[in-house]
Structure 1
Amino acid sequence: MHPRDKDVPPAIRRMPRPRGLRGSAAPARRWLARTLLLAAGLLAAQAAWLPAKAALAQVLLATSWQQSLADGKAHRPWPWADTHAVARLSSPRLGVSQVVLAGDSGRSLAFGPGWAESSAAPGAAGTVVISGHRDTHFRWLKDLRDGDVVQLESRDGPRRYQVAGTRVADARSERIAASGRDQLLLVTCWPFEATAPRGPLRYLVTLRPLPRASSR
């Protein structure tokens, strides 16, 4: 039998895709990818904003602190600031130098370490309490070791302190308060790698004053 005499099935025709759906998946995927990239960029910018703001603030604070040392007066680091520089804190071994602000409220701590005004003034005898955020200005506290020397410069001149110990305190059961003892307390939140802010635990570094250098 000739092949042409066989029954030949009709050709199978593909149903046309509705015009409204043709190519719609690709633009949707591109839109979703761009949205995710934008969201990731915003999150990254937000994460970088706090350290950048803290670093810029220290530059402005350093200028105001030098002005205070020159004339003995308080100088605001920027016109709308509600605080001023009161001291400079430094760690020679770690290469840290930071200007300390008056007050330890959230507004002050956003720009630098803050001195608790209920404690002894920097340069005076008694317990000086200085606080800072664990993820910006006071992150270096975790690298302090027993015996390290830290200097606190006030308008009366520098005082050198030596690390005597570190510990973790629970703010729910212990109040960190100044005492009559001559010492420097550096305070930050703990643990350093915590993801949740404002936990109840505090990391305390206790430093004892070293003898002042002889003026002779």
Structure 2
Amino acid sequence: MKWMRNLTFGAGIVFIGIFAYQFLQSEKLQNESMQEAEARIAKYKESPSDHATVDTFNVKENEAFSTLEIPKLDKEIPVIEGTDADSLSKGIGHLSQSVLPGQGEQIVLSGHRDTVFREFNQIEIGDTFTVHMPYGSYSYVIKQTEIVDEDDTSVIREMGEEVLVVTTCYPFRFVGNAPERFVAYAYPVEGEE
């Protein structure tokens, strides 16, 4: 019986070690991406002649290019081009098929509920997001949220107006692959760019 207790204890230590390593690795990647995004934003502010515009700005796959500020959570998180596993391990992923802020259509950002959106259960209608781009900052207010099935792709669509769509897995406190997605629809703040 003692060997069973020791085996269980040893397995527990291994699992805690794996979790700790993954958590620290995720934090390291996010910090590196945040530095990359902030440097890119600062570069355009320092060189007005080289300043990108909403129409001329280009981004490469898996590149940190922007930040998402969430005042309610007192957080600013790097935004990475792409929504593959590598991109999402570094921060919030921007769906490449969607537009960028200021381009007048749907902008889709996704992140993991257990890393970048750890406190997303506190988000409510009326809260704001601000996307800091090299060519300017864009603020959005959440006007609608919904819970959809993980396979529901109807969320990604032309909307005929600028809408920031932020998604993460749901339920927020769920062990394993969550069966649903939480979706927040945020619209430009009146009087902003």
The alignment partner of 2:19 has SS state of helix
Under a length normalisation based on structure 2, what TM-score does the superposition of the two structures give?
0.82
Question: Shift of residue 137 of structure 1?
Answer: 1.0
Higher relative contact order (CA 8 A, sep 6+): 2
Describe the shift of the 1:36–1:142 C-alpha distance in structure 2 as closer, same or farther (beyond 3 A). Answer: same
Quote the Cα distance in structure 1 between the aligned partners of 2:90 and 2:130: 20
Tell whether 2:175 aligns with 1:203.
no
Quote the Cα distance in structure 2 between the aligned partners of 1:203 and 1:43: 28
Partner of 1:55: 27
Q: Which one has a bigger Cα radius of gyration?
A: 1
Partner of 2:49: none
Quote the Cα distance in structure 1 between the aligned partners of 2:112 and 2:152: 21
Quote the Cα distance in structure 1 between the aligned partners of 2:15 and 2:137: 41
Tell whether 2:10 aligns with 1:38.
yes
Quote the Cα distance in structure 2 between the aligned partners of 1:181 and 1:50: 39
Question: 2:170, 2:178 within 8 Å by CA — same for their partners in 1?
Answer: no
Question: 1:130, 1:185 within 8 Å by CA — same for their partners in 2?
Answer: yes
Question: 1:129, 1:184 within 8 Å by CA — same for their partners in 2?
Answer: yes
Partner of 1:95: 74
Question: 1:101, 1:114 within 8 Å by CA — same for their partners in 2?
Answer: yes
Structure 1, unmatched stretches of 5+, are 1-27, 77-81
Describe the shift of the 1:70–1:174 C-alpha distance in structure 2 as closer, same or farther (beyond 3 A). Answer: closer
Describe the shift of the 1:100–1:167 C-alpha distance in structure 2 as closer, same or farther (beyond 3 A). Answer: same
Tell whether 2:84 aligns with 1:105.
yes
Number of residue-to-residue matches in the alignment: 180
Structure 2, unmatched stretches of 5+, are 45-56
Describe the shift of the 1:205–1:173 C-alpha distance in structure 2 as closer, same or farther (beyond 3 A). Answer: closer
* Per-residue CA distance 1:132-157 (angstroms, 9 max, x = gap): 11111123322111111211111111
Structure 1 outlier segments of 4+, above 6 Å: 73-76
